[in-house]
Structure 1
Amino acid sequence: MQETIYRDLLNNLEKSNYRNRLQSLCCFSAQKGELYNNNVMIVGRAVNEWDDDFQLNDMDTNLLVNKLFSKPFIPMCPLEWVESSWGSTEGYNTNKSAFWRVIRKLSESINKLSSDERWASKLVWSNLYKIAPSAGGNPSDSLCGYQFDACNELLKVEIQEYKPKCIVFFTGENWFDGFLLENITLMNKSESKLVDARGILKLNGFTTKIVIAKHPQGKPEANMLNEILDALA
């Protein structure tokens, strides 16, 4: 089901009036850790640099979808790179990312892990928007608009497939606005500075807790972790 919706997303984007046809874009699909235990799903705004680059004026939809969803010849955890890059002195160091630092503490707390256990492999990680500039940075309002409907449907399918006990959106309400409208009941956290809302999501008989937190960049991380855990409780 994810592949079908993703193929429609790319085909519709190719046929759209999006003007920057030569822009190098990248496509992302949800990543499920090999030790995922249905406890928590993490959702960000959009990926900041990723593989599978393409341009709308020269795009092979089937090739991109097959690369995204094909299983590797040698099975490996899709989120192993997050742990192996922790403290890396070459390339991307995940320990320098506030996003991953907060998620690590969240996973360790929810999954009751020690600091040396495989915290990332217990998660599912996704993003609201699947198509972003390959050079980094968030997709423009225009690019978000052309992919919104398909991304909303993809998010629903992901949730139904992974069935997490809770979902934490590190997006802020401004980015989350419009997603899952028919499936959620939200309560604002007026006393909270770092959690915008919490609530319940109901989707085809499945029910889960959700928390909408601000993006961790530049925020007091210990406070954010405590507010998220409080909202989930």
Structure 2
Amino acid sequence: MQAQKYLSLLSQLKISKYKNSSQSLCCFNAQKGNEYNNNLMIVGRAVNGWHHEFDMNNLNVETMVNEIFNQAATSDCPLKWVEDSWGINEGYNTKSSAFWRVTKQVSQCLNENSSSTGWASKIVWSNLYKIAPSITGNPSDSLCDKQFVYCNELLLAEIEEYNPRVIIFFTGLNWFNGFLSNAVSLASNKEHSLVEAHGVLKINDEEVIIIIAKHPQGKPEAEMVNEILSITSVT
């Protein structure tokens, strides 16, 4: 189902009036760890650089979708790179990312994994917006607008396939608003400063805990983790 949704996304983007047709973009798809246990899904805003690069002038939709989902079918854990890059001196050091530091702590707690390794393989990682600049930076408002409907459908398809117990959106409400609007019931978190809302998503007769937190960059990480865990422990 995800591949079909992705075909629709890229097909509509290709025929859209997105003006920056020569901009180098990249395609992201959800990454499921090889030891995923239907417990935790983490969602960010958009990638800051990824594989599967293209621009509107050279995009072959079918070829790109085949490339994305054939790679996803390999036996190697798609999230192994997160732990392999932890603390490295050259390239992208995941330990330097507040997003991955908080994700590691939450994964270790919710998956009862006291080891410093193996935590990444137990999660699903996705992003609200699948198309982003290929080097760095968030997608523009225009690019977000042109992919929103299809990204919302893709997010629902991911949730249906991966069936997580908990989904944490490290996006802030300002990015999350509009997504899953027909299926999720949220309440604001006035007693918390870093988790902005939480609630329940009802899908296929299942209830999924939804937590909307601010992006972890520059935030007190221990406090954020405690707020998240306090919700998962009582919901």
Compute the TM-score of the two structures, normalised by the length of structure 2: 0.97
1:153-174 deviation line (CA, Å, top 9, x unaligned) = 0000000000000000000000
Q: Distance in 1 between matches of 2:75 and 2:230?
A: 36
Name the counterpart of 2:174: 174
What is the match of residue 110 of structure 1?
Answer: 110
> What are the residue-to-residue correspondences of 1:177-188 with 2, within 5 Å?
177-188=177-188
What SS does structure 2 have at the residue aligned with 1:118?
Answer: coil
Secondary structure at the aligned position of 1:132 is classed as strand
Cα distance in structure 2, aligned partners of 1:207 and 1:104: 24
Identical residues among aligned pairs (%)? 57
Count the aligned residue pairs: 233
> Counterpart of 2:11?
11
Measure how far apart 1:117 and its partner are: 3.2
Normalised to the residue count of structure 1, the TM-score between the two structures is: 0.98
RMSD in angstroms over aligned alpha carbons? Answer: 1.1
SS for the counterpart of 2:100 is helix
Matches within 5 A, 1:89-100: 89-100=89-100
SS in 2 for 1:129: coil
Q: Which letter does structure 2 place at the counterpart of 1:177? A: N
CA distance, structure 2, for counterparts of residue 74 and residue 107 of structure 1: 23
CA contact (8 A) 1:21 1:56 kept: yes
- 1:17 and 1:72, CA in 2 relative to 1: closer, same or farther beyond 3 A? closer
1:202 alignment partner in structure 2: 202
- Structure 2 unaligned residues grouped into runs of 5+: none
Of 113-122 and 10-19, the range deviating more from structure 2: 113-122
Note the C-alpha offset of 1:207: 1.3
In the aligned structure 2, how far is the partner of 1:215 from the partner of 1:90? 25
Structure-2 separation of matches of 1:186 and 1:129: 21
Aligned partners of 1:190, 1:73: CA distance in 2, in Å? 42
Q: Determine whether 1:39 maps to 2:13.
A: no
- List per-residue Cα deviations over 1:116-170 (Å, max 9, x = no partner): 3300000000000000001111001110000000000000000000000000000
- Contact persistence 2:72–2:78 (CA under 8 A): no
Aligned amino acid, residue 112 of structure 1? E
Contact 1:210–1:232 under 8 Å retained in 2: no
Aligned partners of 1:61, 1:164: CA distance in 2, in Å? 29
